[in-house]
């Protein structure tokens, strides 16, 4: 099929059929913030940070396929306000105290707060009190810092093929679990590959031994593995 024409922020661009708004934007140097999206993994559109305006309707850029003649606005006042509210709620739902986090300075949620102009949180914090699971010999998971982006779940199933991580419960009680909700160290399916650690955008899943602000991850490893396999 021939390339389509898509208008983003008043300028027209060529777009191949099947491309998402986010992909077209990235190809043309247009920055749209995101959190759950990661190159190499299936897009699910759960974080809603990449919301854009398509003729008055707010849609997730990572999960919306472009159509010929589509008109997209990426930075209206309404879009900016929505993104900031989403990021504020992500902070309020967990215990994201950056000064005491091993991912301080290397956290995607922290970067997002700067990108969307979040200087404070205007809603009360939930202050969850989940137990830190340090039963794995090399890694630990602090669910109070989890943003439920699902990257660990998708990386474990789509890239490693282990299906160790998944979601449990609903609504405010939803959380990531290993196997059938056993301690991570007892998860028989876990291969210890560490992909879940590298793709986690916050300090929720980290390597043991990392001190405050020492954790630096490499989420790009997923795209590298996918590309390598496609050429194998």
Instruction: Report the CATH number at residue 121.
Output: 3.30.70.20
Give the pLDDT band (50/70/90) at residue 1.
low
Residue 137 resides in a domain: yes
Are residue 198 and residue 143 in the same domain, yes or no? yes
Are residue 55 and residue 132 in the same domain, yes or no? no
Are residue 139 and residue 204 in the same domain, yes or no? yes
**At how many degrees (to 10) do helices 77-93 and 108-115 cross?**
140
Q: Using CA atoms, how far apart are residues 65 and 44, in angstroms rounded to an integer?
A: 12
Are residue 120 and residue 185 in the same domain, yes or no? yes
- Chosen domain end from 27, 51, 75: 75
When pLDDT is averaged across residues 64-75 and rounded to a whole number, the result is: 97
When pLDDT is averaged across residues 186-190 and rounded to a whole number, the result is: 98
Residue 111 resides in a domain: yes
Dihedral angle sign, alpha carbons of residues 203, 209, 210, 216: negative
Helices (H), ranges, 116-185? 151-154
Are residue 89 and residue 192 in the same domain, yes or no? yes
Q: Are the C-beta atoms of residues 179 and 191 closer than 8 Å to each other?
A: no
Residue 173 resides in a domain: yes
Residue range of the domain that includes 71: 4-75
Q: Are the C-beta atoms of residues 198 and 160 closer than 8 Å to each other?
A: no
Whether the predicted pLDDT of 229 surpasses 90: no
DSSP 3-state of 65: strand
Are residue 113 and residue 213 in the same domain, yes or no? yes
- Chosen domain end from 43, 75, 107: 75
DSSP 3-state of 67: coil
- Chosen domain end from 75, 94, 121: 75
Are residue 11 and residue 102 in the same domain, yes or no? no
8: β partners: 11, 72
The Cα-based distances of 81 to 63, 171, 212 in angstroms read: 20, 23, 31
Are residue 110 and residue 199 in the same domain, yes or no? yes
Are residue 59 and residue 100 in the same domain, yes or no? no
The total of structural domains in the chain comes to 2
DSSP letter for 132, please.
P
When pLDDT is averaged across residues 149-172 and rounded to a whole number, the result is: 97
According to the model, what pLDDT value does residue 3 have?
82
Residue 228 resides in a domain: no
Task: Kindly provide the residue ranges of all beta strands, DSSP E only, lying in the chain, ordered along the sequence.
Answer: 4-8, 11-15, 51-54, 57-60, 71-73, 139-141, 165-168, 175-178, 205-207
Residue 124 resides in a domain: yes
Task: Please give the backbone phi and psi of residue 104, each rounded to the nearest 5 degrees, phi first.
Answer: -55, 125
Q: pLDDT, tens digit, for every residue of 3-59?
A: 899 999 999 999 999 999 999 999 999 999 999 999 999 999 999 999 999 999 999
Q: pLDDT, tens digit, for every residue of 70-82?
A: 999 999 999 999 9
Are residue 46 and residue 17 in the same domain, yes or no? yes
Instruction: Report the CATH number at residue 44.
Output: 3.10.20.740
Are residue 123 and residue 205 in the same domain, yes or no? yes
């Amino acid at each position: 099929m021939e390339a389509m024409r898509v208008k983003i922020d008043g300028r027209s661009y060529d777009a191949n059929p099947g491309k998402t708004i986010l992909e077209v934007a990235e190809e043309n140097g247009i920055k749209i913030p995101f959190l759950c999206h990661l190159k190499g993994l299936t897009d699910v559109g759960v974080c809603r940070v990449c919301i854009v305006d398509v003729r008055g309707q707010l849609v997730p850029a990572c999960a919306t396929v472009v159509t010929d003649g589509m008109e997209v606005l990426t930075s209206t006042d309404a879009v900016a306000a929505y993104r900031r509210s989403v990021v504020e709620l992500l902070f309020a739902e967990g215990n994201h105290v950056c000064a005491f986090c091993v991912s301080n300075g290397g956290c995607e949620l922290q970067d997002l707060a700067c990108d969307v102009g979040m200087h404070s949180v205007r809603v009360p914090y939930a202050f969850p009190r989940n137990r830190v699971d340090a039963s794995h010999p090399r890694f630990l998971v602090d669910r109070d810092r989890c943003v439920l982006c699902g990257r660990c779940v998708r990386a474990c199933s789509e890239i490693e093929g282990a299906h160790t991580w998944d979601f449990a419960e609903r609504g405010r009680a939803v959380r990531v679990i290993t196997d059938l909700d056993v301690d991570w160290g007892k998860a028989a399916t876990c291969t210890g590959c560490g992909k879940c650690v590298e793709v986690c955008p916050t300090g929720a899943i980290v390597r043991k031994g990392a001190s405050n602000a020492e954790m630096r991850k490499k989420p790009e490893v997923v795209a590298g593995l996918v590309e390598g396999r496609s050429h194998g």
